[in-house]
Structure 1
């Protein structure tokens, strides 16, 4: 599978990426890949070990004469976001990713590609494999469950890593280097809401919102893309005068991906169906105009359900739930003053469900300020307490404070200027790179993050510019060589 990848340059990087594409690796299912990498390390005589959580480290001794150079840690995460188009059956725990080349870009057929962070991992493996690069001591750190919880970084063993310089290979823009990132936390809301039997004149309908592009809930949050949960709740709010009652709801699959689709099963009087259909059609036109040029594929439909449910939420419970969801923070909350053009605080209504009266919400709050993350979480608690729901905050992780005067950054910028005849943009990203967590566990680390050009991460539109991979890997090679002459 994916043999055409080995026709691309640099071959050593694409060969390793082929292994990653052929090995299923959604979050929580990285064990098979870890085993393959350990076998590969054994075959090359490279030392490797795991910490208690299962994070993998592979080590390569310094080349002769560079034993005293500062240790370099190449860091990436092994898991990938599992997203597929609704009409494409794909089992991410069993099926390989099918890749294809389109106009200089590599993409996947109807699924996420896994370039995030597969190409960073492949580049680290390539550095471990190549024997023609002088280098100091190298550790390649491959973490687990980054996409769902930052679990690998949060549970990383302390006093384990030996290096002092960390190269995070999980960025997605060429010509840029990242020196800071947002922190974040998952906000989870749960409630049991009262149900009542359907009455004789009620019928069941399915309200669907589909066709959105989706995207990364940090990098893409400011682009005005549609959030299926936000938009479907807006439609439900519009239908309240038609006496609707919620039966089921499901929207979004990952808290860190902008939801592309959402569906609700409704009960309402037969006499209100015509009015409901008219409102849905009118709202669809409004939404399409609002998202013109951004999410042109939006479709909002109302259809008869295939089966009649026995129960639905009471009208009062439906009203309270829809009102709370409609009022919940979603999207950009505040732009940064210190870092112009960068989102400071945001929230993504990532996953919402209702089944047999059990309501669940998982939102991802991000901020460059940890205090703002905490405040947003408290706003959720205050809002959903009004409908009797319980709120908890999980998987919190700190932001990465920039070090604009670091020697590592200066060396990278000089090499970038020398190779590409241009200074890199020095950036802070509104996304949860693992650097903030790693820096909290290893405060002495100097860190930067860079990578190839990736677009549409966390969605089936994910793609990587093939030429940018060679550029990225070339920079990584010369940086490793340059750091071999640095002083510890």
Structure 2
């Protein structure tokens, strides 16, 4: 176990934010080759590592969502959890990579698929085309111990743009800010009552009848619940702090967006969060995250959202509804990085994984997750392979509160070892 944690700490010191993980890619390639494994890297920086004729392929992504001070990560342990000081930790999915490194240290006859840029639309998984030998693939990107995941949500990023112009404004100028909210994963945390900084800001501006918007910079990542949002506005009446909204009067007299009132109305009207529950699975069925809104100095307004659904029809319906909503406010929309749902399926492989989970934890549940796992994408490419997903307990990924339960890592690795021996 200590070796896994040490491997993980090594990973935290190598920058690997999405779109900027080349240093970690090179490190992992060298690590595998030094231990006698064959390595292939494709054009999207997916890494395929293999030895002998394995029956099992282990899969994880090696990029991370960088929040706060990341990629500068300082880890510490507290009451059985590993955390990071003022940054995301990268346990999603770095702890899985650390487990793989331990298995390579042991020289196991396995395949390893390490995918790139999962956190920004499963980009690497969409391009996987390696010649796998194994009949089974075990994804290590789940975030709850004693659970075996056999299905996941599909998703799409819906972006919108409008070119506005600037006009003269009236009244005093204010900075209106919502800062330092908890944030969280836009899929697995979307039903946990975590407030969106964008929605809190929009509600305040609408309630105060603010219609003059000079600029807005809100949200951090498409797949993170917004923790921060700041707007510069003008208003002819006094604005003051209220609840979690911080107001600061400025001496400036900026121009305002000609249709800033419509943008404020859009933010207030947008139905962020869970749209429908899946009572059978006990998770959200349909959700959308109003992730980022920015206005540039030329009056261009950009909106970014992340939509998820447990089936293709629901995702298509949500996508159509969102595009139509943006069009009502004069925006042009695009649908990007769409990926399929992984329909829950019980197989001999999922039964085996479930059995080994029970041997270690004394319990297990077959589950689906309201987030994108790469199993859905890869399963479409390799229909003869059988898939399952497990992982140690990780809380609040994609935020500066991210943490991983250390004894869960040890036990999950024991489950993994039992699966490898049985397959």
TM-score when scaled to structure 2?
Answer: 0.96
Question: Which residue, 118, 136, 144 being the options, matches 1:146?
Answer: 118
Counterpart-to-counterpart distance in 1, 2:359 and 2:208: 61
Match of 1:211 in 2: 180
Question: Which residue, 171, 175, 182 being the options, matches 2:146?
Answer: 175
Aligned pairs for 1:274-353 (under 5 A) are: 276-277=239-240, 280-281=241-242, 284=243, 299-305=244-250, 308-314=252-258, 317-337=259-279, 339-353=280-294
Match of 2:84 in 1: 108
Deviations 1:43-75 (A, max 9, x none): 11210011221101111225xxxxxxx621110
Q: Report the alpha carbon displacement of residue 27 of structure 1 after superposing the two structures with TM.
A: 0.1
Question: Which residue, 378, 381, 388 being the options, matches 2:323?
Answer: 381
Deviations 1:13-70 (A, max 9, x none): 12321221110100011110111111112211210011221101111225xxxxxxx6
Matched positions, count? 422
Counterpart-to-counterpart distance in 2, 1:148 and 1:340: 26
Q: Report the alpha carbon displacement of residue 424 of structure 1 after superposing the two structures with TM.
A: 0.6
Gapped runs of 5+ residues in structure 2? Answer: none
Match of 1:61 in 2: 52
Deviations 1:235-271 (A, max 9, x none): 111122x5x41011111110111111111000123xx
Distance change (3 Å), C-alpha of 1:402 and 1:312: same
Structure 1 residue runs of 4+, over 3 Å off?
Answer: none
Question: Which residue, 1, 8, 18 being the options, matches 1:17?
Answer: 8
Deviations 1:74-114 (A, max 9, x none): 10000111111xxxxx362xx3x110011111000110000
Match of 1:401 in 2: 343
Q: Secondary structure at the match of 1:461?
A: coil
Deviations 1:430-456 (A, max 9, x none): 011111001111111211111111111
Q: Does 1:414 align with 2:355?
A: yes
Distance change (3 Å), C-alpha of 1:208 and 1:54: same
Give yes or no for contact 2:169–2:212 (8 Å, CA) kept in 1: no
Match of 1:228 in 2: 197
Distance change (3 Å), C-alpha of 1:388 and 1:330: same
Give yes or no for contact 1:181–1:431 (8 Å, CA) kept in 2: yes
| Greater gyration radius | 1
Give yes or no for contact 1:237–1:326 (8 Å, CA) kept in 2: yes
